């Protein structure tokens, strides 16, 4: 492992963005589009860093193994420089696997209650008595260190991370509430369940129950984040009007640059984890996936309506 120390940059992290979703809703796409702004660097999913650094053949979004990617080597060197720990490895900044859970248990643990409540002070106090909360808190603090290192290495004031599970997003928020911003990406539940059924070979009943449960969790977490620090983005709006939606997002993040070309430049993207679209270099334009209109049967749609119709309408999908 290289012990080369990267030259420090004057660029300070001004804010970091967690893209929250229930998965497969367009969060990788939002991250890749934001990466094209000179103010932003998207890093993919921090939760997967350990996988990419433990397995030499795991690829970065740029197509190079993470362990050989110049971007990640520079980030690791900057983290070593900042912490003074020259044996430190990127994978240590991942979320501990035992904390991973895509949804709360029926009876939440103390750490989860503290996250739902959302008070940074209660969180700090709680992490003194709950080992699980302490590990969550340490993960959040390490995540912010990674964002700061990326800002320094790339000279960009905004670091973007696809948050994956909402508990992960919340521990990061509680570590640094002021600089935190959330972009909550949602997708029509009929499209989400259709792609879930295809991907996981599951039934509509299983898929729609998961859709309802994950949304309930995400909305619960979002509610405790100040409204001025979060915004909602619909996958369908992003695909139908990419320039308009990205303009709204850039205003939310105080980004001055106005882009007009949203051709995805994937060879420059260093994201880890997320949708495999990041590797398909021949797909360079944003395309709306509405296969559900063709693939879902009337029985599927009736079952979706019975279990998930209310959730979908609450999200604004009313047609």
Interface ranges with Zn ion (CB under 5 A)? 60, 62, 69, 71, 270
Query: β-strands 15-20, 158-164: how paired?
Result: parallel
CA dist., res. 258 & res. 243, Å (int): 9
Shortest distance in whole angstroms from residue 63 CB to Zn ion: 7
Residues 6 or more apart from 103 whose CB is under 8 A from it?
165, 213, 214, 217
Q: Quickly list H helices, 38-130.
A: 49-54, 70-83, 110-117, 120-129
74 or 176: whose CB is closer to Zn ion?
Answer: 74
- For the sheet with 180-186, list strands across it: 40-42, 158-164, 15-20, 180-186, 230-234
Shortest distance in whole angstroms from residue 280 CB to Zn ion: 16
170 or 278: whose CB is closer to Zn ion?
Answer: 278
234 or 270: whose CB is closer to Zn ion?
Answer: 270
CA-to-CA separations, 260 to 37, 252, 257, 287, in angstroms, rounded? 11, 17, 10, 16
CA dist., res. 236 & res. 285, Å (int): 14
Shortest distance in whole angstroms from residue 271 CB to Zn ion: 8
Shortest distance in whole angstroms from residue 178 CB to Zn ion: 29
DSSP letter (8 states) at residue 11:
P
23 or 65: whose CB is closer to Zn ion?
Answer: 65
46 or 169: whose CB is closer to Zn ion?
Answer: 46
73 or 253: whose CB is closer to Zn ion?
Answer: 73
Shortest distance in whole angstroms from residue 58 CB to Zn ion: 11
Shortest distance in whole angstroms from residue 60 CB to Zn ion: 3
Q: Quickly list H helices, 48-180.
A: 49-54, 70-83, 110-117, 120-129, 131-154, 166-175
């Amino acid at each position: 492992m290289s012990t080369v120390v990267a030259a420090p940059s004057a660029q300070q992290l001004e804010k970091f963005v967690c893209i929250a979703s229930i998965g497969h809703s367009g969060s990788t796409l939002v991250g890749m589009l934001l990466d094209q702004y000179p103010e932003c660097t998207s890093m993919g999913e921090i939760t997967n860093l350990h996988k990419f650094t433990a397995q030499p053949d795991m690829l970065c979004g740029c197509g190079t193994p993470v362990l050989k990617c110049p971007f990640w080597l520079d980030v690791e060197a900057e983290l070593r420089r900042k912490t003074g720990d020259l044996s430190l490895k990127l994978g240590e900044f991942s979320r501990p696997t035992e904390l991973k859970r895509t949804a709360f248990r029926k009876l939440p643990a103390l750490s989860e209650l503290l996250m739902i409540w959302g008070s940074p002070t209660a969180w700090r106090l709680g992490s003194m008595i709950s080992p699980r909360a302490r590990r969550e808190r340490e993960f959040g603090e390490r995540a912010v260190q990674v964002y700061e290192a990326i800002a320094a290495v790339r000279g960009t004031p905004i670091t973007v991370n696809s948050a994956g599970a909402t508990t992960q997003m919340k521990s990061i928020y509680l570590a640094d509430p002021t600089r935190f911003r959330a972009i909550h990406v949602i997708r029509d539940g009929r499209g989400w369940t259709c792609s879930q059924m295809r991907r996981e070979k599951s039934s509509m009943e299983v898929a729609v129950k998961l859709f309802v449960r994950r949304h309930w969790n995400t909305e619960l977490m979002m509610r405790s984040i100040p409204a001025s620090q979060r915004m909602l983005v619909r996958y369908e709006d992003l695909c139908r009007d990419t320039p308009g939606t990205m303009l709204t997002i850039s205003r939310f993040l105080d980004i001055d640059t106005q882009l007009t070309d949203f051709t995805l430049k994937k060879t420059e993207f260093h994201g880890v984890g997320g949708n495999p679209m990041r590797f398909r270099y021949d797909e360079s334009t944003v395309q709306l996936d509405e296969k559900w209109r063709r693939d879902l049967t009337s029985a599927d749609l009736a079952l979706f309506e019975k279990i998930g119709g209310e959730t979908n309408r609450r999200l604004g999908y009313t047609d």
